[in-house]
Amino acid sequence: MKITFLGTGAGIPSKERNVTAILLDLIQEINHLWLFDCGEATQHQILHTSIKPRKINKIFITHLHGDHIFGLPGVLSSRSFQGGKDPLTVYGPSGIKQYIETSLHISNTHLSYPLHYVELVDEGKIFEDDSFIVDAVLLDHNIKSYGYRIKEKEKIGELNVQKLEELGIEPGPIYRDIKSNEKTVLKDGRIIYRKDVIGKPKQGKIISIFGDTRYVPHHATFIQNSDLLVHEATFSADNQSLAKNYFHSTTEQTAKLAKDSNARTLILTHISSRYQNGDLDRLLTEARAIFPNTMLAHDFFTFEI
């Protein structure tokens, strides 16, 4: 899986950064794309990538500020124009359904696919299938804002090829059958139990993506042991008062949260336009002083998880 940043700026677009949109690529895992937030011109950003909007089947909105939702009507309608037929579900705070349906109704836009909504009223699990669980946590912003934790379920371990060969089972389609089924009956009548020829389960990945928020120390519990934490760093370390007043976080605060949660990698995003290219090294240095494995996202930055 991999994550691509389509927009990494805060509040308004700038020449260097579009507003927030983050794509989680799960094509290899479940043949889907999940979009987190959808700021203005997200569909324009998509045009500069190989992303196929019809593959997006879930959109998770952190909160209803314009720099996180103004791109939604365009992305939803373009998905229809480009042949999208599969259902799409939008998750987000109460009001997201009204915003989308009003936009589509007034513009007389008709979608070619079923559109579903899950409006969040509480914290906790909001989605689960055979491969993933998604949980939501309420953040500290000036409107209701959520963070999401995407947990990949354990995967079946690798087949013990040496053991299979010792049993006289040569490589071939039978290996796939053995791995896919709890027990397999061979042509000679023998029964092979998967548990006897498989390694330990592979631990699934954990990805945490937060919307706009003040620094909240107890959020470290929610994101504990994340392989990747994506968190806003709207302000530099010396603007802590400004961050508090505007319900945002600083580079140092975000890095401390990553450290306290035992995250593996931190990516900073949602950077204020007050910081130009010459300031970016300073922002990154501030975070790395506390959490060394930190990166600062830019538009179209892709990270393999």
User: Would you please indicate which residues are annotated as catalytic (active-site) residues?
Assistant: 67
CA distances from 239 to 142, 203, 219, 234 (A): 18, 39, 21, 10
Q: Can you count the helices (H) and strands (E) in the chain? A: 11, 16
- From the list 135, 25, 125, 115, the residue with the least C-alpha distance to 72 is 115
- What CA–CA distance (Å, rounded) separates 191 from 179? 13
Q: From the CB of residue 222, how many other CB atoms can be counted at a distance below 10 Å?
A: 20
- From the list 121, 122, 136, the residue with the least C-alpha distance to 58 is 136
Residue 170: its H or E element: none
- 8 A C-beta contact, residue 9 and residue 20: yes
- What CA–CA distance (Å, rounded) separates 36 from 58? 9
> What strands, in cross-sheet order, belong to the sheet with 302-304?
115-120, 88-93, 56-60, 32-36, 21-26, 2-7, 302-304
Largest CA distance in the chain: 74
60 Cβ contact list (under 8 Å, min separation 6): 34, 35, 36, 37, 91, 92, 134, 148, 209
